[in-house]
Structure 1
């Protein structure tokens, strides 16, 4: 559904933010896009939805060139940005204005999500807190039923119960013909949600792996002493001993710790990536 080949992008002809980047994504999956501050995650999302244009290379989304901004393309792609700016209108007025742009928009779903997020339908957008506005826009984004849904730091501004509700809603909404990319620094919010991990580093996607493949190659453990692990790759001090990423020689089952995995990739990049070559 998303096919990117040798994409290079930079701002105002300055040094490239993305360079010779390749990425091929299929529908039916939730992708977690991870990277350092300034790595180019938002730039990549904006190239995918056609708000920014490649300096070189190609980007095809659902068979369309995003840079053309055709109505057929825009009806099937939705970007939820990190920073949201909303007009001073009621939720219902916002819905009446913007929902018609999306042919598959489901008003019942929208109001269902608002109920789950405990947002009063009568509210005016500008009278709400940042977190409440974020919940409205998450609800709107999901109700579009767009084939490609891009979310940039969607859990920023959400409290802990709302983050749990966000994960529940996202997990229940994905369809076989849809693709979701969630870019975030709050990686613990994604642990139980995504099924593919993308890591953007050095202007490229350096890792693109399904979660079950990561846990097949690596084990994530809590140990009292590092001597307990025969092949540790990365460790962090924990409340009781150490949290460890190790080579999974014994084919043990463990749960992916997204934050620790990301830190391990950045710290021991070659050793981690060699497990997937």
Structure 2
């Protein structure tokens, strides 16, 4: 792994059934200082990819390196600098305070003041018992703790599942303030809108393959997101959907116009025209 890559996957082969491989020669390199959004349909392989990075699944061949370590070896130096928030969570029957006090010794850079601040922003009292909380409240406790560990790598699988609309807004605000130049965050979701105004890089998976991995700046340079009165016989249109003003469309940005990337429309454009997208982005 080069020094600029914090997460590197090279030639990964993996599958739950040896006769049905999930990943074949999968490659991916991620750098610190970014919040990556991992998008894909259910069953695209997102959760399996995250678990390979976290050392919870082992590749059949190829090499995974995270922050200079092989996750499958589960070394203490690796574990203290990586935190994984799974989609399904199971928390013990203790108070929030006791939960944090029990786990914080495993994370040398854990910041209690940050943890309490995140809890306050999520409106979660520290003395409450975890088992008496709703699923959404438990999720917020785990996200607050994950951010406060200050691990260099933070991986979250469907973190906004169970959160109401105000909590999703809080999530975006809190996560964006927790990024540092030496920290990498990777967030997987199928609720595309939940990552609006949060991520700066996008990874899209389809059928266990990575079909796009680029910065949003690169996406905005090559694609234009806007409204058109009609899209009939328009060869530049990659995806369009009816709107009150005509059609909201994703088109090739031949004029290099500025537009705001719409993640949901981008995802739909990639799903509809994966070959053309790969050709445009190389």
TM-score by length of 1: 0.97
Q: 1:230 to 1:207 in 2, by over 3 A?
A: closer
Q: Which residue of 1 aligns with 2:89?
A: 84
Unpaired runs of 5+ residues, structure 2, are 1-5
Q: Which residue of 1 aligns with 2:101?
A: 96
Q: Which residue of 2 aligns with 1:264?
A: 269
Q: Which residue of 1 aligns with 2:257?
A: 252
Q: Which residue of 2 aligns with 1:234?
A: 239
State the shift of 1:228 in Å.
11
Tell me the distance in 2 between the aligned counterparts of 1:42 and 1:202: 13
Among 202, 205, 213, which residue is 1:208 paired with?
213
2:185 matches 1:159: no
Q: 1:5–1:21: 8 Å Cα contact kept in structure 2?
A: yes
Q: 1:10–1:16: 8 Å Cα contact kept in structure 2?
A: yes
Q: Which residue of 1 aligns with 2:72?
A: 67
Q: Which runs of 4+ in 1 moved over 4 A?
A: 227-230
Tell me the distance in 2 between the aligned counterparts of 1:108 and 1:145: 12
Number of positions where the alignment pairs a residue of Structure 1 with one of Structure 2: 277
State the shift of 1:201 in Å.
2.0
SS in 2 for 1:88: coil
Output aligned runs, 1:61-210, within 5 Å: 61-210=66-215
State the shift of 1:229 in Å.
6.3
- Deviates most, 123-132 or 265-274: 265-274
2:35 matches 1:50: no
Q: 1:191–1:256: 8 Å Cα contact kept in structure 2?
A: no
Tell me the distance in 1 between the aligned counterparts of 2:230 and 2:220: 21
Tell me the distance in 1 between the aligned counterparts of 2:106 and 2:20: 36
Q: Tell me the alpha carbon deviations over residues 26-84 of structure 1, each in whole angstroms, 9 at most, x when there is no partner.
A: 10000011111111110011000101000010001111010000000000001000010
Tell me the distance in 2 between the aligned counterparts of 1:161 and 1:36: 25
2:5 matches 1:3: no
Q: Which residue of 2 aligns with 1:35?
A: 40
Tell me the distance in 2 between the aligned counterparts of 1:165 and 1:228: 43
Question: Considering only aligned residues, what root-mean-square deviation do their CA atoms show, in Å?
Answer: 1.3
Q: 1:30–1:193: 8 Å Cα contact kept in structure 2?
A: yes
State the shift of 1:252 in Å.
0.8
Q: Tell me the alpha carbon deviations over residues 215-265 of structure 1, each in whole angstroms, 9 at most, x when there is no partner.
A: 100001123322696721211122432110001111111111111111111
Tell me the distance in 1 between the aligned counterparts of 2:261 and 2:218: 10
Unpaired runs of 5+ residues, structure 1, are none
Tell me the distance in 2 between the aligned counterparts of 1:39 and 1:81: 16
Q: 1:8–1:54: 8 Å Cα contact kept in structure 2?
A: yes
Q: 2:211–2:274: 8 Å Cα contact kept in structure 1?
A: no
Q: 1:122 to 1:245 in 2, by over 3 A?
A: same
